[in-house]
Amino acid sequence: MVQLVGSLRKEVAESLSTCRVLVVGAGGIGCELLKNLVLTGFKNIEVIDLDIIDVSNLNRQFLFQKKHVGKSKAQVAKESVLQFCPTANITAYHDSIMNPDYNVEFFRNFMLVMNALDNRAARNHVNRMCLAADIPLIESGTAGYLGQVTVIKKGLTECYECQPKPTQKTFPGCTIRNTPSEPIHCIVWAKYLFNQLFGEEDADQEVSPDTADPEASWNPAETEARAMASETDGDIKRVSTKEWARSTGYDPAKLFNKLFKDDIMYLLTMDKLWKKRKAPLPLDWHQSTLSGRPQGEVKAVGLKDQQVLGVWGYCQLFQHSIETLRSELQEKGDGAELVWDKDDAPALDFVTAAANLRMHIFSMTMKSRFDIKSMAGNIIPAIATTNAIIAGLIVMEGLKVVSGELESCRTIFLNKHPNLRKKLLVPCILDPPCANCYVCASRPEVTVKLNVLKTTVLALQDRILKERFGMVAPDVNIEDGKGTILISSEEGETDANNGKFLSDFGIRNGSRLQSDDFLQDYTLLINVLHAEDLEKDVEFEVVGDAPDKAPPPPSNQEDASSIANGNKDSAQPSTSNAAAEVDDVMIVESEGEEEEEASSSSAAAVPTSGTKRKHLDDETGEASVKRPRTNQSHEAADAEDDDDDDDIIALD
């Protein structure tokens, strides 16, 4: 007869009390996950998170209270969880998981790693570290009512980077408020600003500088002090933006100087943010408008929505849109609120003007009204219930891993609407490794098309290796028979190369580069394809992936059990690589057969016109195969897809 300890088999309960697990992230999913782990019986938990607690976290991250604002998420989460289970052994790290201290040997200390992250860079990095350490990883993500949990095991399943991801549509609050680097960051900020001024105010949509940005101070005590100061008598007082705007009579000049001059000048005082970034340039209303149209600013021609105006033009649009929206508010009466609608001309004009002015301040190329309308889309807030469901599913998959039942693990999708079988949760058999993955293949190799006459060594390092391929500290050698070192991770060793072009080192069409990231235990071979016909504003294109297949899954039961704990002695570290506010979600519409009726071959069937597997967020993306849907639901589902997935930006 099976012996039970609570609801678990005795041997499973004993395994939980002895195994060590790592939780990466202590935010929306992380809070729920930590609570679930200790209540399930996990006793040895380590949690890492760089963030500090903000007021906007309190509506869904229930381990935190108002008194905790400004403190480390990881440390407070530990203290709160210990109240559920005082005998648990929990270690908290207020740090970035990408810190070199957390190397492959660190990851090998754990039986299981669980991700509760909100950005792609960290996800990619943890994916590679777990591959290198041969440790099972449970990946998860949410976007509004949608969610996903999957298990990743070297040689047995797809890794996180096996499938291409579309452009990230999830951004940390401090990026939106302090350090925007892409036009979408400025567009999200402008939509927040619309709600703060004219709509329903939301603490999650603050637009003033984030005084508690953890990147502005690497000293946790200093970060906490700044956050607490901002709550009391600090630098940026927490007053109602709408009330302040009303007190000025929605004066365009005062609003302009507050948003684009005073706030930017305050950001400049946070000098640590600008050591490796180009600092923003404040704008002044008087200088930008009263001098009239600058001589160099040519009047735009062509269709109105496709014109890109200059600073003077967007100042005029900013003024006109505020005056129009102010009149609409007055007509509605006291206490009225406006609702953002991308088809409402004054609302779109306001967001277009505000976003473009912020883009100019942060040295970005400004966008047309048409582009901004298509990018604005729908912002989906993080929902506590979704986080709770996903955290529960993580623990259920974790129990299978700890029990040595890796073959029974599944990818589970939480959908917004039930399928034809009335199911919101759709389990799917785990896919095998992708043969062309440039991370988990046996010999990762890619071909990069670029112009060797115009691409600098610094661009290769930052834009291609770090940003595109997710390396942290790459070392690059030219395979020229001499082993010429192009880039070194040792500080200052190859800085003199940064401004030189690749052609200066004899790199031409057909050259091969070997890039190593020793932290990630990852090596990538890069074939250079010289091209002078790249599209405008395109620096490079990735046109090839790894030619070799990933290692096959274990062929017998003994091997399967031996890798279940991720510590198989004979396993060699993978040459894993990597490519980063809300999360990676793939949504499966499965109105056809249930997962239990599917085989591995059917899960990887040849695509048909009725098959859909979609990414949402990292997230809305290209369709790939997962499950066939019935014909009767095809048109309805497609219509629903168009409605739900159009330009979605998910926020954590």
Distance CA 333, CA 367 (A): 34
What pLDDT was estimated at residue 231? 44
List 284's β-bridge partners, or say none. none
Structure tokens at 545: 């992936």
Distance CA 501, CA 459 (A): 9
pTM over 0.75? The answer is: no
610 assigned binding-site residue: no
Structure tokens at 173: 């609050």
544 assigned binding-site residue: no
Distance CA 356, CA 318 (A): 10
Distance CA 211, CA 215 (A): 10
Q: Reply yes or no on whether 174 is catalytic.
A: yes
pLDDT of 511 higher than 80: yes
List 611's β-bridge partners, or say none. 628
The tally of CA atoms less than 13 A away on the side-chain side of residue 113 is 32
The percentage of the chain sitting over the pLDDT mark of 90, rounded to a whole number, equals 50
28 assigned binding-site residue: yes
Which alpha helices (DSSP H) does 276-412 contain, by range? 285, 311-332, 345-361, 369-376, 384-402
578 assigned binding-site residue: no
394 assigned binding-site residue: no
- What confidence tens digit (pLDDT) does each residue in 440-468 have? 988 899 999 999 999 999 999 998 999 88
Q: How confident is residue 216, by pLDDT bands cut at 50, 70 and 90?
A: low
pLDDT of 356 higher than 70: yes
Q: Give the type of residue at 135.
A: I
β-pairing verdict for 540-544 and 445-450: antiparallel
372 assigned binding-site residue: no
Which of 9-18, 69-78, 230-239, 621-630 shows the highest mean pLDDT?
69-78
What pLDDT was estimated at residue 168? 55
As a dihedral over the C-alpha atoms of residue 55, residue 48, residue 468, residue 453, rounded to 10 degrees, the angle is: 100
Distance from chain centroid for Cα 499: 30
Among residues 174, 186, 409, 428, the one annotated as catalytic is 174
- What confidence tens digit (pLDDT) does each residue in 53-100 have? 988 788 889 999 999 988 999 999 999 999 999 999 999 999 999 999
Buried b (16+ CB within 10 A) or exposed e, 609-645: ebbbbbbbbbbbbeeebbbbbeeebeeebeeebeebb
Distance CA 38, CA 16 (A): 10
- Residue written as token pair 């582009």: 371
- What confidence tens digit (pLDDT) does each residue in 374-425 have? 788 655 667 899 999 999 999 999 999 999 999 999 999 999 999 888 999 9
The percentage of the chain sitting over the pLDDT mark of 70, rounded to a whole number, equals 74
Distance from chain centroid for Cα 161: 13
How much is the average pLDDT of 103-132? 94
49 assigned binding-site residue: yes
